[in-house]
Structure 1
Amino acid sequence: SADWSYEEAEALGQALEKFPPNTLCRWRLIYEFFCEKCPSSHHEKLLHMAKLMPTQWCTIAPIVGRTAAQCLERYEYLLDQAQCRREDLNENNDDPRTLRPGEIDPNPETKPARPDPIDMDEDELEIEKQLEEARRLAALQKRRELRATDIEVRRYHSRKRDVNYNVEIPFQKLPAIGFYDTTNEEFDPEKVDLRRLRQDNVNSIQKEENEQQPIRKRSKLVLSAPQISDIKLEQVVKLGQATEIAKQQVTETGTPATETLLGDYNLTPDLRTLSTIGATPGITPVRDRLNINAEDGLFDGQMKQIESIGLFTMPKERVAKKSRIHKDVQKQGINFNKDFGQHILKNPLIITSMIDKSAIRPTDIVLEVGPGTGNLTVKLLEKAKKVVAYEIDPRLVAELQKRVQGTPFQSKLDIVIGDILKSDLPFFDLCVANLPYQISSPFVFKLLLHRPMFRCAIVLFQREFAQRLVAKPGEKLYCRLSVNTQLLAKVDHLMKVGKNNFRPPPKVESSVVRIEPKNPPPAVNYQEWDGLTRICFTRKNKLLVSEFKQKKVVALLEKNYRIHCSLNNKTITNDFDTKAKVEEILEQSGFAKKRARQMDMDDFLGLLHAFNSEGIHFC
């Protein structure tokens, strides 16, 4: 470059050989060192651009050919020189940009970095050591001069945490300042008992040693199993008593021969004589299981013989019957009667699910059968306008009234004491109930035949009964209940309920069923329909021809046919055969070879229409 001289290039080469090329700070030091010698034309250009674009050093730097930091530093340097000329100061000695003692450099990142000791050679390391030693000697000389002028310089050292026992006494308690008056003290030398003090000291030391020793737990006392049970021991005592009674009778009669046959159970046999029987002296012989069983059988035979004589009668032990009352029920003081089917639903999640599926409106009147303690009733009262509850047990009625007494629900609850099957149902919109299982079938048909019709019923039934309600033709549980219920309503199975969700738990599983009556109801005489299905499902797997050939069925149909003819002024011929008439109707309608378990609703309606059109009725 034209701006560089030969000496400058030589100095640059020596610097590159001295410092590693990968050290950025070294390159920056050399670069900035030689950038100091830039011509005056560059200074004028820099000042002109700074006047046109003040503080825009990123824009000025590429124009001048330097970096933004170099442009800013050079601009400040030129301003400092101009200030020195204005104040008539020496530019070289009194540089205003040089730091005075105690000042902090505001821009340390713009200054060249000091060399690292790792990159130094031996000469430079030696120079650094000499400088460090010079600083230490200067600090030492300064402290000596201050000490000579009576200025003490304290040197702070890190304080150790341990106690120096040569300087201080641990837990030292200094006496109070001043004289202590001992005139009020009473001292009796005769009462001083040094032996007692010594003994107390010994006891305290022993107590501390005992506390330090680990406490040993006593091992369990392991005893061998008894060779004879308590029951047999009682029998031995009773046998001895019976022997004493027999001895008294023998002594009264005076027959010594009989007296020798009776054993004496009051004396304990000599163990030394028994020990001689075994192979090893002092050890009782081990009896095998056959001998033990034989001796037990002989003992039982002797007891039976004594009882047969009439000398002694063995009392029979009475075994206490296990209570079937639930533990929680015993705590409450209520004994649920299973004859009424009292199984209280205790799971709140199932209760909430039943209420959600019933879709209760604020204007609905809800019918509940068997409220029990009111777990379901309270939830119904929160959403319904009124709840009519039928309960047959007066104890649970009192419990339910006590539960809602003093609450806003008291006016919304109407409790009827009595049997639901013997009572007339009131008007209601919904029926939500945990029904007693023994009244399931009659209650369902009483509910479906009730007028005016209700909107929906969510009822908890036994699992098998619920499966019969929703069974389809061809299924195993398809029966007369399925046909009669599905004629009048739409039945859906909602969820299964385990027996552990009740208190006390029943012996069977349960299910929740939704019953929606068909509105309008089908135009069918229900009594006629029920009579037909009763005959068809007597044996649902047999052919209908075989079902209608039974004598009782033929007699019933003939009786109903004659009543129908008499009411309608029809004459019956003498050779009229009811059995042949029924077979003819079945053949013409095509139901002769069908079975009841495979027939759906339309098939039964067609069969009923075929019989009624010929004047044969079932009620």
Structure 2
Amino acid sequence: MLPKKLLGQNFLVDGNIASKIVEALEINKGDIVVEVGAGRGILTEKILDFPCKLFAVELDRKLYSFLHSKLGDRKKLKLVRGDFLRFDLRLAAREGKLKLVGNLPYRITGPVMRKIVGDREVIEAAVFMVQKEVADRLSASSGKKAYGLLSIFVQVHAKLEKLLQVAPKGFRPQPKVSSTVVRITIRPIPLVKPEEEEFFFWLVKTAFSQRRKMLVNSISSSLDISKPELEEILADVGLDKRTRPEEVTIERFLKLASALNPGKGGKE
């Protein structure tokens, strides 16, 4: 069965790595697991060794048929043919919070992260294999080249750990880059308050839209406030007027958003 380039398919073939991924999910009796892109079933079979319920989602018709013929009789398994991005996680979580797992193609990593954050109330944790570059972006802290909107978006809602590196030889066909296994644990309480979330992410997105500019220049044109006033607010939250967006920690962005938020008497 040949992988499809269009779907970004690089099948994991290293059973030892598959075991480590499933172990990292920390499956307990009664857990509900959702596998994103079951592929040839290397993770699927290992998950089924645990006393859990498994939804294995696979978009590719031929792979779905292969999995159905191989594992379709397993009572704990619900095979779902379709796009994970359209899969109803809230419906799957009727009996408890979900644990997600999968080997994510590069092209859908961002959309998957947005879906997880959007449905975070029904998700406990996720263990994903992603390209090393993506893992670096997800986990990056301020001052790092990879730090940006995606880093902040995920870290505000979840804790992220890099677990292990996976060399190209662990896949067929072999990709040109290494991969990283990451564990994402949803925060019980996000770092940003619900009523401030929209403005906070607007501010971060605006700042990083011109990441090489000084922060005062990248956001001032979008705010109804003079540069001297903005520089004063930056100083109040501990930021120099020459600071660039990539140098601002999440904590400082939170303080800045709170100071500028029109709903809190800041920006008008």
* TM-score of the alignment, normalized to the shorter chain, above 0.5: yes
Q: 2:218 is aligned with what amino acid?
A: E
1:601 equivalent among 231, 250, 253: 250
Q: Secondary structure at the match of 1:415?
A: strand
- Distance, in Å, in 1 between the alignment partners of 2:107 and 2:120 is 24
Q: Which residues of 2 match residues 152-551 of structure 1 at below 5 A?
A: 334-406=1-73, 410-425=74-89, 426-427=92-93, 428-522=97-191, 523-524=193-194, 525-550=196-221
Structure 1 CA distance, aligned partners of 2:197 and 2:81?
30
SS in 2 for 1:398: helix
Identical-pair percentage: 33
Q: Which amino acid aligns with 2:102?
A: A
SS at match of 1:356: helix
The gaps in structure 1 that reach 5 residues or longer are 1-333, 558-577
Shift of 1:615: 5.1
Secondary structure of 2:121's aligned partner:
coil
Q: Deviation of residue 335 (structure 1)?
A: 2.5
Contact in 2 for aligned 1:366/1:384 (Cα 8 Å):
no
Amino acid at match of 2:104: L
Which structure has the higher relative contact order (CA within 8 Å, separation 6+)? Answer: 2
The DSSP-based 3-state class of the residue aligned with 1:530 is helix
Q: Which amino acid aligns with 2:210?
A: R
- Whole-Å separation in 2 of the counterparts to 1:589 and 1:497: 42
Give the structure with higher Rg (CA). 1
> Deviation digits for residues 164-210 of structure 1, max 9, x if unmatched?
xxxxxxxxxxxxxxxxxxxxxxxxxxxxxxxxxxxxxxxxxxxxxxx
- Asked if the contact 2:220/2:230 (under 8 Å) is kept, the reply is no
Any conservation in 1 of the 2:35–2:57 contact (CA below 8 Å)?
yes
Q: Number of paired residues?
A: 255
Aligned equivalents of 1:411, 1:405: Cα separation in 2: 8
Alignment deviations for residues 80-138 of structure 1 (CA, whole Å, 9 cap, x no partner): xxxxxxxxxxxxxxxxxxxxxxxxxxxxxxxxxxxxxxxxxxxxxxxxxxxxxxxxxxx
Relative to total residues, which structure has the larger helix share, 1 or 2?
1
**What residue is the counterpart of 1:587 in the other structure?**
232
Q: Which position in structure 2 is the counterpart of 1:54?
A: none
What secondary structure is seen at the aligned counterpart in 1 of 2:49?
helix
Report if the CA contact (8 A) 1:497-1:509 is conserved.
yes
Q: Quote how far apart the aligned CAs of 1:468 are.
A: 1.0
Distance (Å, rounded) in 2 between the aligned partners of 1:545 and 1:432: 40
2: CA distance between counterparts of 1:548 and 1:475? 20
| AA in 1 matched with 2:248 | M
CA distance in 1, matches of 2:212, 2:254: 19
The one-letter code matched in structure 2 to 1:585 is L
Q: Counterparts of 1:616 and 1:419 in 2: how far apart (Å)?
A: 41
Amino acid of the structure 2 residue aligned with 1:378:
E
- Cα distance change, pair 593–510 in 1 and its aligned pair in 2 (3 A): same
2-side partners of 1:451 and 1:401: how far apart? 29
Unmatched segments (≥5 aa) in structure 2: none
Structure 1 or 2: more strand by fraction: 2
Summarize deviations over 1:498-532 as a string: whole Å, max 9, x none: 11111122222110001011102332433222211
The answer (yes or no) to whether the contact 1:585–1:610 under 8 Å persists in 2 is: no
Q: Following the alignment from structure 2 to structure 1, what is the Cα–Cα distance between the partners of residues 202 and 122?
A: 24
Query: Normalising to structure 1: TM-score of the pair?
Result: 0.40
* Cα distance per residue 1:422-457 (max 9 Å; x no partner): 332231421111112211011112112214332221
Distance in structure 2 (CA, Å) of the matches to 1:384 and 1:496: 28
Match of 1:69 in 2: none
Distance 1:579 1:396, change over 3 A: same
Asked whether the equivalents of residues 365 and 384 of structure 1 are also in contact (C-alpha less than 8 Å), the reply is: no
CA distance in 1, matches of 2:105, 2:78: 20
- SS of 1:382's partner is coil
Q: Classify the secondary structure of the residue corresponding to 2:30.
A: coil
1:405 Cα deviation from its structure 2 partner: 4.0
RMSD of Structure 2 on Structure 1 (CA):
1.8
Q: Deviation above 6 Å: which 4+ runs of structure 1?
A: none
Query: Would the alpha carbon gap of residues 366 and 587 (structure 1) be closer, same or farther in structure 2, given more than 3 Å must change?
Result: same
CA distance in 1, matches of 2:153, 2:9: 28
Q: Secondary structure at the match of 2:140?
A: coil
Per-residue CA deviation, residues 219-248 of structure 1 (Å, 9 max, x unaligned), is xxxxxxxxxxxxxxxxxxxxxxxxxxxxxx
Give, in whole Å, the separation in 2 of the partners of 1:487 and 1:539.
21
Residues of 1 paired with 2:77 and 2:13: CA distance? 20
* 1:411 alignment partner, SS class: coil
TM-score by length of 2: 0.88
Q: Distance in 2 between matches of 1:491 and 1:470?
A: 6
